[in-house]
Amino acid sequence: MTQTRNALLFLLLAAVWGSAFMAIKAGLDAFPPVLFAALRYDIAGVVMLAYAAYVVDDPIPRTRQQWIVVAIGAVFLIALYHILLFIGENGPVTSAAASVIVSLSPVLTTVFARMFLPSDRLTAVGVVGLLLGLVGVVVLSNPDPDALLTGATLSKLLVFGAATAFALGSVLTQRIDDGLPIETMEAWAMLGGAVLMHVVSLGMGETFTEITWTTRGIAALLYLSLAASALGFLVYFDLLDRLGAIEINLVSYVAPIFAAISGFLVLQEPLSTETALGFLLIFGGFVLLKRDAIREQLVGRPVEMS
């Protein structure tokens, strides 16, 4: 029963995180991009802080190290990641394409981890894995040499920048031994990131008067805040304890399937050959980079039937 429960939660997480790309795309018709992201984490941050207060003894960071981790999370994992992602999705990039590019994050995370640990360098196979993932992004972007900084190519480069920011933030937060519960870190990072995004939104000249309060826009905001962020992270925390980091990373490679399905059903977005091929190349790069950890998982843990 435990295996069945884990599998169902895994699929639920992939579904809500994958369909979040569709919800972003749908909500951008009603909200300015950065303000949309900020409002999402206004709501999600409050929900997560309430959850942290419920599950941990002290939901407030107390030490300088703990606040540094929160600041890194707020800047890289929340603000920079979502600013680039929402602006990128505001352009001509499909939900599926955006989710596939973001699935490069585990590959980039491995690379950044090796960069910050010189004794643990990339092997030749690891370098091939990295290059394979990057080739996948190039194939997916299908760049036009005469228009590299316009249209869909620029949008996909922004989404790639978002994946890079998330990967770097993940490594930086893991390098600091702070003893802060992950629920507390996520809650305060969400709130801090929301404040930063409101500042950037104001700097970009976005205003609340630009919002069109449509049913679809409100539904997208609530879905992103409550389902993709609050519920999604609660499921993520549960599975992280049960499955470990390697297996939970695989969510990044199941989510694009749900992004493509939801994008097609709700927004009538087509699935291009470039998107499918890019996904396969990025996933191949992940397998090469994580081959030892994946082999250890398969050998060290017998497969159980439920």
Residue 306 lies in a domain: no
Residue 173 lies in a domain: yes
**Number of domains present in the structure of the chain:** 1
Give pTM, 2 decimals. Answer: 0.85
Question: Is residue 244 very low, low, confident or very high in pLDDT (cuts 50, 70, 90)?
Answer: low
**What would the pLDDT profile of 178-237 be if each residue is shown by its tens digit?**
788 888 999 999 999 999 999 999 999 999 999 999 999 999 999 999 999 988 888 887
CB neighbour class for 184 (10 Å; exposed up to 12, middle 13-18, buried from 19): buried
Q: Decide: 94 and 275 in contact? Cβ < 8 Å.
A: yes
Among residues 241, 302, 181, 190, the alpha carbon closest in space to that of 9 is found at 241
Distance CA 78, CA 3 (A): 31
Structural domain that includes position 233: 2-300
Handedness of CA 41, 47, 48, 50 (dihedral sign): positive
Q: What confidence score (pLDDT) does residue 85 get?
A: 96
**What would the pLDDT profile of 97-116 be if each residue is shown by its tens digit?**
888 888 888 778 877 877 77
Residue 305 lies in a domain: no
Question: Is residue 151 very low, low, confident or very high in pLDDT (cuts 50, 70, 90)?
Answer: low
Task: Specify the DSSP element, H or E, that contains 94.
Answer: none
Reading the block at residue 297, the tokens are 């998982």
Instruction: Tell me which DSSP letter residue 29 carries.
Output: T
Residue 9 lies in a domain: yes
Distance CA 284, CA 5 (A): 28
Reading the block at residue 253, the tokens are 């490679």
Q: How far apart are the first and last CA of the chain?
A: 6
Distance CA 150, CA 155 (A): 8
Residue 85 lies in a domain: yes
**What would the pLDDT profile of 110-147 be if each residue is shown by its tens digit?**
778 777 755 555 667 767 776 777 776 666 555 555 54
